[in-house]
Amino acid sequence: MRDIAHRALAAAVQRGVVYASVRVTDVAYRRMALRNTVPGEPAAEHQSGLLVQIQTETGRGYAATTHMDAAGIERAVADARARAREFPFAAPVPAGAGPRGTYATAVEIDPFVVDAEEYYAVMDRAARTALRHPAIRLVEPFITASRVTKVFVDTRGSELEQRLTTCGGGIRVFAERDGHVQRRSHGILQGTHGQAGFEFVSRDDQESRADRLAQEATMLLDAAPCPDTTTTVILGTEHLALLLHESCGHASEFDRASGDELTFAGGSFLTPERRGRFRYGSELVTIVADGSTPGAMGTYAYDDEGFPPRTVPIVTNGRFENFLTSYSTAASAGGGDGGGCARGEAWWGIPLVRMPNLSLQPGALPLERLLEETDDGIVMETPATWSIDDRRIQFHFSSELAYEVKRGKRGRPFRNASYMGVTPRFWGECDAIADEASWTMWGLAACGKGEPMQAIPVGHGASPARFRNVHVLGSR
Amino acid sequence: MGGETWAVHMRSALERTAAQSATVALLDEHYSLTRFRRGVVHQNLTREGVTASVRVMVEGQLGQIVATVSGPEAVAGLLDEACALARIGGRAVSERPLGATNGDDVTIDLAAPLPPAAVRRDAIEAMIGHARQRGTVASGAYVTYRTRTSVAVMGGPVRQTITASSYLRTVIESDHASGYAEQLSPDFRALDPTAVAREAADKALVSGSQRTLPPGDYDVVLDHVAVADWLRFLGVYGFNGQAATSGASFLRDVWGRPAVSPLVTLWDDATDPESLRLPFDFEGTTKRRTPLVTEGRIEAPVHDLATAAAAGTVSTGHANSPFGLQLLPGPAPFHWHMAPGTRSRQAIIASMRRGLLVTRMNYTDLSDRRGGVLTGPTRDGTLWIEDGEIRGPATDIRITDNLLGTLERVDAVGDTPRLVYDWWSPMHSYSMCYRVPVVKIAACHLSGASALD
């Protein structure tokens, strides 16, 4: 891979550039699943290719190809250069000597050498546990693993090699009676994942979780529909992880604020003039982005422009402090030393500003106390569906499981619960965050952004938190 | 490398594999993307590559592998890998062929030429220039695809097609609002960049004070792209054969029955030259026109070979692409058409006492998938209508309503269909596309507004 990268860079330099970089990427992926106790169709994926970026005196162009022989490299370099000359664009040129380094995820058990039988054994135990509950008709456990190996070189001498290994999975449990179905699952959308080896799933207590999810799905069959009301809501940690992602992570990406993503993903209500002044949430709300948390999905040593990740306070005590930036966008964003958040999908994705790990800092209250101190409200756990507007102002999320809280005690369950909110108002009503004991880092395997859509892994940590005056809805 | 050589390699690999059944799909793409923001091109990319998808059955067990490859000569190795995967997999529902085995080898070239660089540049400059002339700023994208798709089935034919598409879109911002427009065509020569910019700018420049509507029920005109945003969910969670056979489809109680307005007639047709065409699906089944809703009656789900076998019927030719983002599990309509009505968009607006014009939605989802409750915010051209005229911009709102219920309340359909994408279409070669007119829905439920204050 290094050889290919250097050959492509040399070809670019030979044609004359102000700056050029080459990223060669190899992606391996495997997915195994059960449907009840029957193995599903195992799937594997293998992608490799390169992305050339060329900056000339006038502009910047990119070319990506899976053809990495001499002719393919030449064509990609010629294409990138031609693209760079088509339109004027004043891209910042990184100065100084580039870094050289390697990084690899700490892996105890390589998920790509583990026998399929072990994958199936982990899932089978969970499936059988769930199926002991009579109302459970369908259990769908799954495990995925990925390995992204990438080499980045550029004309300032950067030479970086990273190998990021992830593993994770999830389980969906369906209860059914008289045609009425309820689902419970673990994680967000596609389960939860970590930058780790097979130990991430083999050491997880999936049987206990499957048992709990089966109980909850069964219980929801008899649950009352969630009422339409305005009340206090306590969001569980995985639900908050998704809310953070949608309402803060994407809102604080500077390329959204600057209009780069207007036609598809949209803009942001967090505009440059609001930086340092805007009240995003209550005093309790502090949200920090970092790309260095060991084991988290959004962790890396260098981004796809060759810069290390930084720890960035996005919201401090409720005040909007900083944007997430790439090197290419940092100067426009202002605010000193920026960058470190540029990532692109696989072999072809132009690096965009992508949130790394973005987390809500824990509060001081044990979760039990937080519940005890809640007189009347609703707890919402795993997210079921979600929708948010293009500027990340107004959202509507639904939840697989909701509970009533009365005088500090968990009460009856509700089905089909959802809530709507306006981001700064909603976070402004946050009056309690549980402490570190209930803080959990969740891993999303794929967050979509860009044209065409690029999928990137991200991490989000949170403890459960309480919000007042929330507009709660049942199913219309 | 020519199509005949591709066919020879694919057939040769299939003849030598240990699989009892196998399907190979190859995608050879040339993709161009030019994005501009607020008058400046900031991303300009060309991408080319070949990706293979191999699906096999070995001793009744299934395995699948997707990989970038140097060319069709790599297929034999992938078949071996897929067979190894299948040996650890589960048994198939039935030991049927994995692709359509009837028919002859065929190569269908449907591709118009791609726009030369100068045409692409002129188009973008025309859009940016038009916006500037009117005191606004344009952001947008010009995307082209040229794709050779080859599907080979063990014991069956090798089918190949070459397709192309060109797509222009823009968001234009004035000092008080934004407007959106797009054009999609299999032939770049049909695109009119200035018309795209004009339409978006017209919406961004609608004068009048911005109105923030309280929640409630309002008559709504969905412009073409918003109609597509609606229909996507009818397909993904309604007509999807997998959802239908598992009982999860929100259409489960209305198959074969009148359930929506008689003004609504929908079908899927990937052979219509007015749409983006694809002569066969990814299992090699020949595409044909498939009725979905006929004058308000919900017809039947669409199927691939697996869901058809489960439902005891035949494939309708809707096997999903195995490439790229798998946003859609199971077969779904990808080439939507809606029968036009008899009234112009202008006449529909003129008939309204009060209501909203919705240009497009953003990140729509079903808040209750089994119940078919759609929720989504509007963007880039939400306009207030009163006494038959557009009176001014409205704050973007969220619509939360039962999808079937809204289609039941369709009381006008426009007379001019357009080919568009929906918001979710990730602009992959095989995104859902829609040739649809504007639609008016009575008493659509607005559940909130996207306002900070």
Q: Which positions in chain B touch A63 (Cβ < 8 Å)? A: 45-47
C-beta neighbour count of B314 within 10 angstroms: 12
Mean pLDDT over residues B143-168, rounded?
A: 95
pLDDT beyond 60 at A380? yes
Question: Is B269 within 8 Å of B289 (Cβ atoms)?
Answer: yes
E strand residue ranges, A291-426:
312-316, 319-320, 342-343, 352-353, 357-360, 376-380, 383-388, 394-399, 402-406, 409-415, 417-422
3-state helix, strand, coil in chain B (%, to 5): 25, 40, 40
Nearest to A323 by CA among A274, A262, A282, A285: A274
> What is the structure's pLDDT at B96?
77
Which stretch of DSSP H or E encloses residue A60?
A: strand A60-65
C-beta neighbour count of A94 within 10 angstroms: 19
Average pLDDT, chain B: 93
Rounded Cα–Cα distance for residues A327 and A99 (Å): 14
> What is the structure's pLDDT at A39?
87
Rounded Cα–Cα distance for residues A54 and A83 (Å): 9
> What is the structure's pLDDT at A334?
77
C-alpha count within 13 angstroms, C-beta hemisphere, residue A362: 16
> What is the structure's pLDDT at B426?
63
pLDDT tens digits for range A307-365: 999 999 999 999 999 999 999 998 888 766 678 999 999 999 999 999 999 999 999 99
> What is the structure's pLDDT at B180?
98
Top-confidence residue, B420 or A204: B420
Average pLDDT, chain A: 95
> What is the structure's pLDDT at B428?
64
Q: Which positions in chain B touch A422 (Cβ < 8 Å)? A: 448, 450-452
> What is the structure's pLDDT at A121?
93
Question: Is B372 within 8 Å of B402 (Cβ atoms)?
Answer: yes
**DSSP characters for B45-75?**
EEEEEEEEEEEEEETTEEEEEEEEESSGGGH
> What is the structure's pLDDT at B449?
87
pLDDT band (50, 70, 90) for residue A475: low
Considering just the CA atoms, what is the radius of gyration of chain B in Å?
23
Q: Chain A closest CA to B358's CA: distance in Å?
A: 14
Instruction: For residue B38, give the chain A residue with the closest CA.
Output: A259
pLDDT band (50, 70, 90) for residue B369: confident
Antiparallel, parallel or unpaired: β A100-104 and A159-177:
parallel
> What is the structure's pLDDT at B2?
67
pLDDT beyond 60 at A429? yes
Q: Which positions in chain A touch B45 (Cβ < 8 Å)? A: 61-64, 83, 350
pLDDT beyond 70 at B185? yes
> What is the structure's pLDDT at B323?
83
Backbone angles phi, psi at A127, to 5 degrees: -65, -45
Reported ipTM exceeds the 0.90 cut: yes
pLDDT tens digits for range A434-474: 999 999 999 999 999 998 889 999 999 999 999 999 999 98
A165-169, A257-261, B28-32, B321-325: segment of lowest average pLDDT: B321-325
Contact B367 A348 (CB under 8 A): no
pLDDT beyond 80 at B326? no
Q: Is A469 helix (H, G, I), strand (E, B) or coil?
A: strand
Rounded Cα–Cα distance for residues A1 and B86 (Å): 30
Mean pLDDT over residues A278-291, rounded?
A: 98
Instruction: For residue A269, give the chain B residue with the closest CA.
Output: B452
Rounded Cα–Cα distance for residues B227 and B378 (Å): 12
Contact B46 A80 (CB under 8 A): yes
Q: Chain B closest CA to A465's CA: distance in Å?
A: 22
Nearest to B408 by CA among B443, B359, B433, B357: B443
For tokens 């030479």, name the residue: A159
Q: How far is CA B411 from the centre of its chain?
A: 25
pLDDT tens digits for range B375-417: 999 999 999 999 999 999 999 999 999 999 999 999 999 999 9
B42-51, B84-93, B261-270: segment of lowest average pLDDT: B84-93
pLDDT tens digits for range A93-142: 888 999 999 999 999 999 999 999 899 999 999 999 999 999 999 999 99
Which amino acid is residue A357, in one-letter code? N
Question: Is A135 within 8 Å of A175 (Cβ atoms)?
Answer: yes
CA pseudo-torsion sign A354, A235, A232, B214: positive
For tokens 């091109």, name the residue: B41
Instruction: For residue A73, give the chain B residue with the closest CA.
Output: B48
> What is the structure's pLDDT at B424?
87
Rounded Cα–Cα distance for residues A73 and A425 (Å): 52
> What is the structure's pLDDT at A476?
56
pLDDT beyond 60 at A270? yes
For tokens 């085995």, name the residue: B101
Nearest 10 degrees: Cα torsion B119, B122, B123, B127: 180
> What is the structure's pLDDT at B94?
65
Q: Which positions in chain B touch A47 (Cβ < 8 Å)? A: 51, 67-68
Q: Give the percent of chain A with pLDDT over 70.
A: 99
Rounded Cα–Cα distance for residues B15 and A57 (Å): 54
pLDDT beyond 60 at B325? no
Rounded Cα–Cα distance for residues B427 and B270 (Å): 17
pLDDT beyond 60 at B332? yes
Q: What is the 3-state secondary structure (H, E, C) of A277-316?
A: CCECCCCCCCEEEECCCCCCCCCCCCCCCCCCCCCEEEEE
Q: Which among B147, B450, B453 is the top mutation candidate for probing chain A, defined by the most A β-carbons within 10 Å of its own β-carbon?
A: B450
Please tell me the pTM assigned to this model. Answer: 0.95
Q: Which among A81, A149, A262, A277 is the top mutation candidate for probing chain B, defined by the most B β-carbons within 10 Å of its own β-carbon?
A: A262
Question: Is A223 within 8 Å of B129 (Cβ atoms)?
Answer: no
Q: Hey, what are B105's tokens?
A: 């080898």
Rounded Cα–Cα distance for residues B251 and B255 (Å): 6
Q: Which positions in chain A touch B449 (Cβ < 8 Å)? A: 394
Contact A385 B34 (CB under 8 A): no
Q: Chain B closest CA to A61's CA: distance in Å?
A: 5
pLDDT beyond 90 at B124? yes
Which stretch of DSSP H or E encloses residue B331?
A: none
Q: Give the percent of chain B with pLDDT over 90.
A: 83
Instruction: For residue B374, give the chain A residue with the closest CA.
Output: A476
pLDDT beyond 60 at B419? yes
Mean pLDDT over residues B128-138, rounded?
A: 98
- Point out the residue among A63, A87, A451 whose CB comes nearest to the CB of B41: A87
How far lies B3's CA from each of B7, B8, B72, B158, B170, in Å? Answer: 6, 9, 10, 10, 36
pLDDT beyond 80 at A372? yes
Cis upstream peptide for A452 (omega within 30°): yes
**DSSP characters for B203-268?**
HHT--S--B-PPSEEEEEEEPHHHHHHHHHHHIIIIIBHHHHHHT--TTTTTTTSB-S-TT--EEE
To 10 degrees, what angle do helices B75-86 and B3-16 make? 40
How far lies B317's CA from each of B85, B114, B167, B307, B321, in Å? Answer: 26, 28, 25, 11, 12
> What is the structure's pLDDT at B324?
64
Give A379's strand partners. A234, A403
C-alpha count within 13 angstroms, C-beta hemisphere, residue B368: 25
Mean pLDDT over residues B123-150, rounded?
A: 97
Q: Chain A closest CA to B342's CA: distance in Å?
A: 32
> What is the structure's pLDDT at B97?
79
pLDDT tens digits for range A56-89: 999 999 999 999 999 999 999 999 999 999 999 9
Contact B423 A416 (CB under 8 A): no
How big is the CA angle at A473 (ends A190 and B362), to the nearest 5 degrees?
55
- Point out the residue among A65, A393, A424 whose CB comes nearest to the CB of B48: A65
Q: Which among B32, B33, B48 is the top mutation candidate for probing chain A, defined by the most A β-carbons within 10 Å of its own β-carbon?
A: B48
For tokens 């500027």, name the residue: A391
Question: Is B241 within 8 Å of B308 (Cβ atoms)?
Answer: yes
Question: Is B410 within 8 Å of B437 (Cβ atoms)?
Answer: no
pLDDT band (50, 70, 90) for residue B328: low
Q: Chain B closest CA to A30's CA: distance in Å?
A: 9
Q: Which positions in chain B touch A262 (Cβ < 8 Å)? A: 37-38, 139, 171, 173, 178
CA pseudo-torsion sign B437, B438, B443, B444: positive
C-beta neighbour count of B215 within 10 angstroms: 15
Mean pLDDT over residues A354-381, rounded?
A: 97
pLDDT beyond 70 at A216? yes
Instruction: For residue A398, give the chain B residue with the closest CA.
Output: B367
